[in-house]
Amino acid sequence: MPGRSMIGPPHQHSEEEPWTLERHGAWLESQSAEHFQPLLALLPELPAAQEPANGERPDPAALPYPNSREVHRFITLCYDLRIMIVFDWPAWHSEVPFDQRPELIDTFDRTTCCMALTALVRGDRFNEGLVAWAWANGLLERIVGRLKVLLEDIGLV
């Protein structure tokens, strides 16, 4: 992607040692708005209801949960932008239940927004449909919207 640094945390399939939370956070904080632009570009789509990839409304209890193309694209983008942080996201989520108290998102910095996205995307691997639920309930819109506000506040957007 043009304009973004190719030097960054190891890709998910890399054999390199994962970065610490502190190192990854510092890298995220140093990135320009251009790096996050593909994610910010999804903001207009985030409030919309999502259609499953096969066109049928799934039973929420059915597994595997068929994510829509948009949800799949969102998850892929989080990995491609290298905003997925290696940390104990289940423990952090227990301490910061942003899905139950969305007002917490309004206090997040750039790294914490990425931690929340990591918790949702990684959590989706164990609780299929979690990202779709977060999309439908406006949680993703709130997190990405907060990221946009942070970038605007420092004149990066």
Tell whether 57 is covered by a domain: no
Tell whether 11 is covered by a domain: no
Domain encompassing residue 100: 21-45+66-153
Please report the pLDDT score of residue 156 as a whole number.
Answer: 62
Please report the pLDDT score of residue 59 as a whole number.
Answer: 55
118 burial (CB, 10 Å; 0-12 / 13-18 / 19+) is buried
Query: Can you tell me the distance from the alpha carbon of 152 to that of 132, in angstroms, rounded to the nearest whole number?
Result: 27
Q: Rounded to 5 degrees, what angle do the CA atoms 15, 21, 24 make? A: 70
Please report the pLDDT score of residue 4 as a whole number.
Answer: 42
Tell whether 7 is covered by a domain: no
Please report the pLDDT score of residue 3 as a whole number.
Answer: 43
Tell whether 58 is covered by a domain: no
Query: Alpha carbon 89 to chain centroid distance?
Result: 13
AA identity, residue 100: Q
pLDDT in tens, 74-101: 999 999 999 999 999 999 999 999 999 9
Query: Can you tell me the distance from the alpha carbon of 105 to that of 146, in angstroms, rounded to the nearest whole number?
Result: 7
Tell whether 9 is covered by a domain: no
Full-model pTM = 0.83
Tell whether 37 is covered by a domain: yes
Tell whether 71 is covered by a domain: yes
Tell whether 29 is covered by a domain: yes
The H or E element spanning position 112 is helix 110-126
The answer for residues whose C-beta is within 8 angstroms of residue 43's C-beta and 6 or more apart is: 141, 144, 145, 148
Which bin fits 65, alpha (ψ -120 to 50), beta or left (φ > 0)? beta
How many domains, the chain? Answer: 1
Q: Which residue stretches of the chain have pLDDT < 50?
A: 1-6, 55, 57
